[in-house]
Structure 1
Amino acid sequence: MKAPQAPRSYADIIRHSFTSLLLTIGLVIVLTVSITLTVDQLFRAQEQAARLSANLQTTQVSNFADWLTVNRGSGLNSHNTFILIKNADGSTTSFLPGARKIDTSGAWSVPFTHLIYIKNMGLYFSETLKTGQRTYLLYIGMHVLLGNLHVLIAVLIIAIGLSLLIGLLFVRRLANRISKPTIELAQAAQQAAATPAVTQPKLPQPAEPVEIHQLAEDFNQLLAAQNNRLQRERQFISDASHELRTPIATIRGNLKLIERRGDQHPEVIPESLGFIDQESLRMQHLIENLLHLSRADRADVDLQPLDVAKLARGVVAHYQPLVSQPLSLEAPETPVMALGDSDMLHQILTALLDNAHKYSPADQPIVVRLITTAQTVTLQVADQGAGIPAEDRTYIFERFYRVDASRSNQIEGSGLGLAIVSQLVKLNHGQIAVTENQPRGSVFAVTLQAPPKS
């Protein structure tokens, strides 16, 4: 089995790509120039052969001197040009410089051309001409072409080699320059990953390349979101520990009081037991809210069309006997359909009514309204309480956040109710917002999506 290829760096990939590109370009240039030069020389040889053939037709060459005269008149090099004459009686006369003999038995032709290679003599352009009783076999030497090609190819190879050497040095520098921001970004990410419990710093964000700049920006956004979650979790653990520590300390303090003074002062036992019961109930509510919040974080909800007006009428009718404030519902008599989960919407409305009840005077009304549009249904709970300062409205849906801690300590609650409501609203694909009520108080608005019209 073939071993998997080791991952390559930027520099390796760029060097390999550049080398392949340069070699390909060099090969294309060599082939293009060689083919162009060869074709040009072939056309030249064909023109020379045509002129020589015209001279041969007018001049009957019978000896070497006549051939030299015809050859020089055609402007050809007599050392690279010769003819063979096939006579009518089958004999062959050759006119070669230096009275050399020619053997064409081992020659081979280049397909689709007039080129022929003669052993020990080289490459020639051949042309056949018949005049009278004679057949002239004309051979024009291509030695100049081959010499030019050898020189040209050698020059191109040297040029490509030098270009490749200089290009690799340039590519190495370029690759290091390109990979440097990526390496720095990776090292910073490794350092950040090595300390997951610490708030992660921002990663370096180079100005270029643009892709690395965008990647670093995305990483920093991801780190910022992670830091926010980490900070919220730390704050959540700290607040939960604080909220649980208080009832536990009260319970243990009253138990110690019973142990120390219960025998001699039995009257402290009922009072201490009352405190223990009250604090244990408070701790139970806190744990239940934490469980609700945990389940809400992991819940998967199947939203169905439901009549929000009917649900609101049922909740208001059930809740009115439990509170002193007068409750009223402003909703159409016809069904108001929205997408949601019935149990969750029931819990949302109940939690908002609990919140309005806690922070409203006993004689001030609480109003539940339903406002509809073509795409949405908005459920409002308006109270006449002290209201929420504008600077606190952004944070009231966070876990354990309570407005005016000194006053909130006098009101029962764990600071988790609105956080649970916010999470339940998100699970129902809705939005929740809080605004100022007139003349005072707050309005909590939950906006849900209307079901698609069939």
Structure 2
Amino acid sequence: MSQAPETQAAETTAQARKPRRKRNRQRTSASRMTWTYIWLLAVIMVVTSFATIGLVGYHLIRSKRDDSILMMSTLKSATSTNEPDWQKWHNSTPANTRRAFVKVTMTDDAGEETYFSRGTQHFLKNDLDEWPLSSHVQYEPDQGLYYHSEATERRGTVTIHYQIWQSLNPMVNLLRLLVTTILGITLIGLVLGIWLIGLLARRLNQPLVQLTEAANSIVSAKDVTYHETLPVPDNPVEVHALSIEFNRLLNSLNRQVIRDHQFVSDASHELRTPLTAIRGHLSLIRRHGEAHPELVPQSLEVIDTESLRMQHLIESLLQLSRMDHATLALALFDVTRLMQGLVAAQPPAGQRVTFQGALGVIAYANADTVEQIVSALISNARKYSPEDSTIEVLLQESGQHVFITVTDTGEGVPEAEKKRIFDRFYRVDAARSKEVAGTGLGLAIANRMTALNHGQLTVSDNQPRGSRFTLTLPAGKPLSEKKSDNI
């Protein structure tokens, strides 16, 4: 159904009234620097011009005022009660009197008499306008600007009124020349400055341009090795530091991507093994179950075992995923009591687990996760230790730290493998990975829990054989200094 013409017209009017959004114009650093220089130079030009004109004009007017005072003094000396002596005034005045006009008015009981210097009557033929900024400056349309001063004195019965006009036109011409010179120099400086600042800006921006091009080439590359780095220029220092930080960030991201790829590959491999076994036994039951019913219980047992293994693996993966963004509630707790209870709850079968440590050791961490970490370390020690061996749990306190050490007498961890022992799915002996139960995620989960407790998990050699896993936690603090990071 179409709209009425009135409705369409109203919508058109409403759209026309909507304010247009300003487009965000992107500019390069070189153009921004150039325009900033132009505006800065323009402001400096205006301020300098006004300041120069004002300062020079003030001093010139002050000089005219001093000349006027001197002329007025000599004029009074050259004026008798009868009339002024112009020749004497010209000779006795140090200032230039050729551009000065004088009017002397004498008033007594007999009347008023006015005397003019040469050219004054013609000068005063037109009315003079006062300059708005100063009452002493007057303007004559055909003559220009003049500085006007006047004085009155009384000699006996005669009242004498003096008026002097001095030409300011030389000062105006000087100011005009000064302004023209400033404008010319500024325009030349502006043109040369724009050219030079453009070259300088492009030179300063070149490292950033190269950095951008290198980043773009990495992003656009089809075959990425995840070892690419950005160029690091020596100058300027800011770009040098920025390039280093970018490379650090890029290196961190590359390591994360490699770890993610490896994790996906390992997870796929770990999941493929039980799935293959399950599908193989299902196919076996389907093909030979009726003819050989004795195969069914054995195949069902394998399917149950492998499916349980898959379940544990998926639960461990979900636990690791949740811990990537989790935080824990930290508190003070008695580590000694926790370790005593944990060791006492160990099953009697298999290796013997012992505990040794001081009483009343207090740590600042999450008690539940600390128990899980130590349980994982004991479980790992059980897997790789002889059946008749002893696993020792040692608790120590030193300074601001609490140390929980789990020691076994197994085969130990080779020095080259210690850096990777806490990686996901990593196992030291690949040949024995099928014989030893587990998903290969226990130590990775324990290491992540340790980080959430603001602690550290390390591995070292036990003498004469075996491994020592040490969990380092913050020692107990006064309650006033207690901190808590809640989930």
Query: Which residue number corresponds to residue 21 of structure 1?
Result: 40
Instruction: Determine whether 1:47 maps to 2:74.
Output: no
- Letter aligned with residue 74 of structure 1: T
- Would you say 1:168 and 2:210 are equivalent positions? no
> What is the aligned residue count?
452
Shift of 1:77: 4.2
Whether 1:57 and 2:76 are equivalent positions in the alignment is yes
Counterpart residue number, 1:67: 86
Q: Is the 8 A contact 1:64 1:95 kept in 2?
A: no
Instruction: Determine whether 1:416 maps to 2:441.
Output: yes
Coordinate RMSD, CA, aligned? 2.7
Shift in CA distance, 135/98, structure 1 to aligned 2, threshold 3 Å:
closer
TM alignment of 1:354-369, pairs within 5 A: 354-369=379-394
Tell me if the contact between 2:74 and 2:89 (Cα under 8 Å) persists in the aligned partners.
yes
CA distance in 1, matches of 2:457, 2:205: 46
Q: Structure 2 unaligned runs (5+)? A: 1-18, 480-487
> Against the structure 1 CA distance between its residues 171 and 448, is the aligned structure 2 distance closer, same or farther, given a 3 Å change threshold?
same
Answer with 436-445 or 32-41: which moved more: 32-41
TM-score, normalized by length of structure 1? 0.91
Relative to structure 1, is the Cα distance of residues 187 and 62 closer, same or farther in structure 2, using a 3 angstrom cutoff? farther
**Would the aligned equivalents of 1:94 and 1:101 in 2 still touch at CA under 8 Å?**
no
Q: What TM-score does the superposition give when structure 2 sets the normalisation length?
A: 0.85
Q: Give the 3 Å change call, closer, same or farther, for CA 411–431 of structure 1 in structure 2.
A: same
Could you tell me whether the CA contact under 8 Å between 1:368 and 1:381 is conserved in 2?
yes
Give yes or no for contact 2:354–2:391 (8 Å, CA) kept in 1.
Answer: yes
Taking the aligned partners of 2:210 and 2:403, their CA distance within structure 1 comes to 50
Secondary structure, counterpart of 1:100 in structure 2: helix
**Cα deviation code 1:19-40 (max 9, x no counterpart):** 1221222223323332332233
Counterpart of 1:372, as a letter, is: E
Unaligned runs of 5+ in 1: none
From 82, 102, 106, the equivalent of 1:83 is 102
Q: Deviation string for 1:43-65 (max 9, x for gaps)?
A: 33233223322322221279999
Q: 2:129 is matched with which residue?
A: 107
Q: Which of 377, 392, 395 is equivalent to 1:352?
A: 377
| 1:331 matches 2:350 | no
2:484: which partner in 1? none
Quick check: 128-137 or 97-106, which moved more? 97-106
1:428 paired residue among 450, 453, 469 = 453
Structure 2 residue corresponding to 1:207, chosen from 215, 218, 234 = 234
- Is structure 2 residue 212 aligned with structure 1 residue 186? yes
What aligned pairs does 1:257-276 form with structure 2 within 5 A after superposition?
257-276=284-303
Deviation for aligned residue 1:110: 5.0
Give the Cα–Cα distance (whole angstroms) in 2 for the partners of residues 295 and 56 of structure 1.
103
The residue aligned with 1:130 is 152
1:245 to 265, 268, 272: 272
Instruction: Give 1:368 shift.
Output: 0.5
Question: What is the CA distance between 1:190 and its match in structure 2?
Answer: 4.4
Q: Counterpart in 2 of 1:235? A: 262
Equivalence for 1:278: 305
> For residue 332 of structure 2, what is the aligned residue in structure 1?
305
Conservation of the 8 A alpha-carbon contact between 1:129 and 1:137: yes
Query: Aligned partners of 1:386 and 1:410: how far apart in 2?
Result: 15
Residues in 1 aligned to 2:308 and 2:120: alpha-carbon distance in whole angstroms: 127
Mapped to 2, the partners of 1:51 and 1:184 lie a distance apart of 72
Given residue 8 of structure 1, which amino acid in structure 2 is its aligned partner? R
3-state secondary structure, aligned to 2:396: strand
Task: Indicate which of 418, 441, 451 corresponds to 1:393.
Answer: 418
Shift in CA distance, 119/348, structure 1 to aligned 2, threshold 3 Å: same
Q: What secondary structure, in the 3-state scheme, does the structure 2 residue paired with 1:202 have? A: coil
Alpha-carbon distance in structure 1 between the residues aligned to 2:446 and 2:126 = 103
In structure 2, distance between residues paired with 1:176 and 1:60: 74
Cα deviations across residues 111-169 of structure 1 (Å, max 9, x unaligned)? 45633333432222222233533221111111111111111111111111111111111
Distance 1:16 1:382 in 2: 70
Output one character per residue of 1:373-412: Cα deviation in whole Å (capped at 9) or x when no partner: 3422221111111111122111111101111212333212
Q: Percent identity over the alignment?
A: 35
